[in-house]
Structure 1
Amino acid sequence: MDWKPAVLMMAVVIMYAVLNALTKMAFNEGMHTTVFIVLRLLVAALFLSPIAYFKERKSRPKQTMEIFIYLFFSALLGASLIQWLFFLGLRYTTATFASAFNNTTPMFTFLLALAFKVEKIDVASRSGAAKLAGTAVGLAGAMVLALYHGPTLMGPPSGDHLAAAATHGGARRWAVGSVALVGFSASWSLWFILQSKIGTKYPPLYSSTAWMFVLSFVQMASVGAATEKMSLQVWVPRTALQAATVVFAGIGSSGLGFLAMSWCVERRGPVFTTAFMPLIQIVTAGIDVTVLHEQLHLGSVVGSAVVVVGLYLVLWGKSNEPSIDSKLPPPSHSKPECDDIKEDVCCSTALKEEKGEHGA
Structure 2
Amino acid sequence: MEYTQLGRSGLSVSRLMLGTMNFGPEASEEDSRVIMDRAHDHGINFFDTANTYGRAVGPGFTEQIIGRWFALGGDRREKTVLATKLYGQMGEWPNEGRLSALNIRRAADASLRRLQTDYLDLYQMHHVDRNTPWDEIWEAFSVLRQQGKVLYFGSSNFAGWHVAQAQEAARARHFLGLVSEQSLYNLMSRWVELEVLPAARHYGMGVIPWSPLYGGLLGGVLRKQRDGAASRSTGERAAQLLEAHRDQIEAYEKLAADLGADPADVALAWLLHQDGVTAPIIGPRTIEQLDGALRAVELKLDADTLAKLDELFPAPGPHGSKPAPEAYAW
Same fold (TM over 0.5): no
Q: Which has the larger radius of gyration?
A: 1
> Which TM bucket (shorter chain)?
under 0.3
More helix by share: 1
More strand by share: 2
Return the structure number with greater relative CO, CA threshold 8 A, min gap 6: 1
